[in-house]
Amino acid sequence: MRRLKLLGVLLLSLLVLSTLSSVSAFRGNIIPPAKAKQVAEYFAKEAFSENIEIGDYVLFYEPSGKPAVYSFEILKDGKVYGTIIIGATKDHAPLVMLYKGLPPQYNLNLKKELRTLNIFIQNPLHL
């Protein structure tokens, strides 16, 4: 009986340690918003070669809770001109999408659809 308890404690310890190591490895995989903004500026200026700025962002999450992508506004003359979507982890491609037009966070129907799909948004715009 004592051996069985010892084996159970050992297995539980190994499970906890493996979980903690995978969580810390994932956290090291996340690209900070400031770095993602630098990447967004580079690609947006290369694509549009106009006087543009990168505005606010929204961080989209996968259903598992992992960060997926940053959606940045591209501003021209203070107005939203386009959108650039940058990967939020080192596993994603740096440039996911770039286009003229409003970002997905401006579409309220999309926001409702994302909630039904259990995708969460960290939103500095408070939309």
| DSSP-assigned letters across all residues of 65-84 | S-EEEEEEEEEETTEEEEEE
Model's pTM, two decimal places?
0.64
74 strand-pairing partners:
54, 82
Q: From CA 38, how far away is CA 32, in angstroms rounded?
A: 10
Query: Is the pLDDT reported for residue 27 higher than 80?
Result: no
Q: What is the pLDDT of residues 111-122, one digit of tens each?
A: 555 555 555 555
Q: Which residues contact 125 (CB under 8 A, 6 or more apart)?
A: 56, 58, 105
